[in-house]
Structures are given as structure tokens and as C-alpha cells.
Amino acid sequence: MRLHDAALCAGARVLPVFRVVPWLVPWVMNHIADVCLGRQNGRLHGSATCLAQLRAALRPFDIILSRSEFRVSDRLIPSFFTHAAIYLGPSLAAMAHRSRPGSAPLPAGAAVLEAARTGVRLTSLEAASDVDLLAVVREARLTDHAVEAMLGRIGQALGKKYDFWFDDADDDRLFCSKLVARVFTHLPLAAPSELGRLMLPDDIARLAMPPDPILSALLVIDGRVADPRPTLEQYAPLLG
């Protein structure tokens, strides 16, 4: 039994308890998941070189996959990549924010869309790069029609609550890879019911892997190793 399968089996046994006390899962996640293990930030935190590389490479609708290893929550995710987010850039982020009247003020430097435990939100590239490893993948053939539809779905997703239950049937709550699948509806990201497990950030990474990649792997920055030019394919054996 693989790690993610074991995690799901364990979750299935515990889940009825959390269903009876529905506030328990968010409470546990919000109070325990961000406990740091030895350090407070990712190895790429505050790296001017990393930010310069990202700003030179990123275009709107690029998908940012990341791995963090310094929080309790990072050890609970049965995926090599522990998070997925969508780069919008400052202009589209501001446009998405304006589409949600009455929402919280736009964060300084907002350029990235993500589903975090506070809900679906806009955040800065600096915050998104406070991780140990980053990979950027891109769908190279987005049409104007697809972009327009994706912008509409982003506006609908922004502000939704975090899906602590990881329930694909719940359209009112999203987790990180579920957000990507809801925005990129044309990508073959299978629902958990079809996979027999959770849809993970690793499933997005696989779309940029040989032999028939659908996404282009543009950039990998790994703060854990000295290799100046790692490739996404190098991490294929580590995917969940």
C-alpha cells in the first residue's frame, strides 16, 4: 500500500469523528499544521536570485508547484509537491480582485492565486516562494476564449473557503490542486473518484513529464541542492 493510499484509509477511519464535530478539522489544521520543524522559512525565502528567475520566466496562467519541508502540514501531504498555485501577475490579480466587490483589500504585490487554509486568496510572489523547491509549468497553447473562461472561473473561486474535507463534489470549498483543476477545466486532471484517491499537486507535475507532456516544464529552483539547473524530470521517481 502506497503512502497516499494508507493516508486515505486512515482518514476514512477518523473522518466520522470529525463529521460529528465539524469545527475540529479546521481547528487542528490551523493550530498544528503551521508548527515549524527546526526553521521558520523555506530555503528559497528572501532569495533575490530566485525572485529574479521567477519574474523573468513567469507569464499569466503559469502553474507554480512547490515543496516545503519545514512545517508539520508538509509531512501530512502524500505528495512530493506539497502545494500548487496559479500565477496571474499584478494586472490580472487586480482585475480578479475587482470582480469580487466587498472583498478584503488587495494584498501588496498580489500576483498569485492559491487555496490556503484561510480560503482562496491572492498573494505575493515573495510569499509564494517561501518554500524549499519551486517548479513552473505552462500550458503553451491557451486561446483567447480559454483565457476568458478561466478568468471567469477565477472570479468565481476567489474568496471560497478551504476544503478541509478534500471533497471533490463540494464546489463551495477548494484545496490547492482542486483549485487548479477547477480553473484549468480542459486539462485531464481526473477527479478523486476516478483516481481512487485525492488529486495531488504531483498529478499536475505528471502532465509535464515524458513521454507525452501536455504542459511545458519551464523552470525548477531547488534550494535544497547545489545543482544550478535541475529539471522536473529528475523528480519523477519521487512523485506520489
Domain count, the chain: 1
The label of the residue with cell 466520522 reads 16
Tell me if residue 62 falls in helix, strand or coil.
Answer: coil
Average pLDDT over residues 172-180: 94
Query: Model-level pTM greater than 0.85?
Result: yes
Distance CA 99, CA 19 (A): 34
Q: Which domain holds residue 35?
A: 3-238
What contacts 198, CB < 8 A, 6 or more positions away?
4, 8, 78, 166, 177, 192
Distance CA 26, CA 199 (A): 20
40: Cα separation from own chain's centroid: 20
Q: Residue 33: what pLDDT?
A: 65
Distance CA 63, CA 83 (A): 10
| pLDDT tens by residue, 103-161 | 788 999 999 999 998 899 999 999 999 999 999 999 988 999 999 999 999 999 999 99
- Domain CATH for 196: 3.90.1720
Contact 158, 120 (CB under 8 A): yes
Q: Which amino acid is at 153?
A: R
* Range picked from 27-31, 112-116, 225-229 for highest mean pLDDT: 112-116
Q: Residue 71: what pLDDT?
A: 76
Length of the chain: 240
Question: 112: which 3 cell numbers?
Answer: 498569485
